[in-house]
Amino acid sequence: MTDRYSAAHSWADLRNRVVAGDWFHAPSPGRLERMEGGLVEIGADGRIVAVCHAGSEGHRAMARAAARAGRLVTLDGLMIPGLVDLHVHAPQYPQLGKGLDQPLEVWLQRYTFPLEARYADRLFARHVYRRLVADLLAGGTTTALYFASRHVEATCELADACIAARQRALVGRVVMDNPGQCPDFYRDASVAEGLAATRAVAAHIESHPANDGWVRPVVTPRFLPSCTDDMLRALGDLAGECGCHVQTHCAESDWARDYGQARFGHSDVETLDRFGLLTRHTVLAHSNFITGSDMDLMARRGAAVAHCPLSNAWFANAVFPLRAALEKGVRVGLGTDIAGGPSASMMGAMRMTVAASRMLRDGVDPDRPAAERGRPGSDVDMITAFHLATAGGGDALDLPVGRFAPGQHFDVLRIDPDAPLGTMRLWGDESDEDLLATALYTASRANMTHVWTGGLQTGQA
């Protein structure tokens, strides 16, 4: 009844199919659902039409009807939603793992800005971006929120690379015009130039003949220090006019937080709100130093946080209060922050999310008494981290990804526990939670054998 397609290429196009498999998703923090032997029907548009749990009414009838029509496919391994990376500096990919011994403000001036300036060369941008998108897809990242460089043509190359590879993406040409914080060789000459360039990228994305919803533009002030008041105000007006998403950095480090407070007399969150940049479509990277009142304001506006636990260990000076933000109703997803940390892996981001929350709960200074060392109740489990990397990221972007439910895009990562050269080991006695946690903690790239976006397998295999 569940005729298996024997050749791997038979899995390449799952549109108009009914797929049987072992499905795991976390529709809310801390809540895992497993559908062992469940059926997922995928429509011609690559969206999920129906989901049927094994043993449920209609499961057997659906399987028989699909088998008779030659539409039934069985996938082995663990099937999880594609991963959503909410914070990627695409031009920094060649910088991954370099210069991490420097403080943030030095790292930017010495390493990042000179590298990003190289993207004036469109062919260099094309080479890097095609490799970046392919590598992220191979690791299961099916949706990404990208900072590009300040170059229009290079940013268009990034959008083109995502469309060609069928990776969902929001792509933003970075805006920076403050001569006090941006080098002479790498900044917008005027507000008019920054706005015109941002509009040009958006027009390219929206008019691309092959786009079909894969890529969207995003208004991208680099962060408060890099932009003048006039630029921030103009970008807020543009975001309101076009209804675009907004991304920027927020209260990432002691230096960044103190700079904003000294310049504006308000927190980063309050300042962004005053400029019209804090909306339902805003994603704020890092946000380590936001206060309880900041969280309340973010929750009212519907803004989200891109929590980047690995890069925070290098540059943020503190652990983001994830549990407190979730309890305040702030939407949160995860990001790698390429290249602020040494890994482009969303698996690594999930693992570090759990570790960082434990550090915040317990504290890290052994000279302090245990009762005074940490912040009790701050820890999260791997299921919550998995939610943030999938459904949480989808929610932050208002995209129908991250869950196995009707209307969601069939963006899926297959994990094969028995893959050659893989690092997973199963012993047959795992609970649902332990089985998924083992995969998320121990799977390597070799275990990630297939990735689909919109029901079509991506270029890796």
- pLDDT of 5 reads 35
Copy the structure tokens of residue 210. 């092959």
**CA dihedral angle for residue 6, residue 436, residue 350, residue 144, rounded to 10 degrees:** 30
pLDDT tens string 285-321: 999 999 999 999 999 999 999 999 999 999 998 999 9
C-alpha–C-alpha distance, residues 268 and 260, integer Å: 6
Helix, strand, coil in percent for the chain, rounding step 5: 40, 20, 35
Contacts of 213 (CB under 8 A, 6+ apart): none
- pLDDT of 419 reads 96
Report the phi/psi class of residue 122: left, alpha or beta, with left for phi > 0 and alpha for psi in -120 to 50. alpha
pLDDT tens string 209-222: 999 999 999 999 99
Name 245's bridge partners. Answer: 218
* Pick from 330, 391, 249: nearest CA to 321: 330
List alpha helices for 44-121, DSSP H: 59-68, 104-107, 113-117
- pLDDT of 57 reads 84
Ranges of the chain whose pLDDT falls below 50: 1-9, 460-461
Report the phi/psi class of residue 287: left, alpha or beta, with left for phi > 0 and alpha for psi in -120 to 50. left
Phi, psi for 88 (deg, rounded to 5):
-130, 125
Q: Where are the domains of the chain?
A: 17-81+402-460, 83-397
- pLDDT of 4 reads 41
> Could you tell me what percent of the chain has a pLDDT over 90?
93
Q: Residue 74 burial (CB < 10 Å; 0-12/13-18/19+)?
A: middle
Q: How far is CA 123 from CA 13, 202, 317, in A?
A: 32, 21, 37
Mutual orientation of helices 229-242 and 191-207 as an angle, nearest 10°? 30
Domain 17-81+402-460 homologous superfamily, CATH:
Urease, subunit C, domain 1 (2.30.40.10)
Which H helix or E strand runs over 168?
A: strand 168-172
Q: Is 123:146 a contact under the CB 8 Å cutoff?
A: no
C-alpha–C-alpha distance, residues 63 and 67, integer Å: 6
C-alpha–C-alpha distance, residues 235 and 213, integer Å: 23
Contacts of 215 (CB under 8 A, 6+ apart): 159, 162, 163, 168, 169, 170, 171, 205, 208
C-alpha–C-alpha distance, residues 431 and 441, integer Å: 15
User: Domain spanning 83-397 has what CATH number?
Assistant: 3.20.20.140
Q: Is 138:112 a contact under the CB 8 Å cutoff?
A: no
Q: Please work out, in degrees rounded to the nearest 5, the angle formed at the alpha carbon of residue 218 by the alpha carbons of 156 and 164.
A: 40
Cα dihedral across residues 324, 329, 334, 335: positive or negative: negative
Q: Residue 296 burial (CB < 10 Å; 0-12/13-18/19+)?
A: middle
- At residue 399, the 3 state secondary structure works out as coil
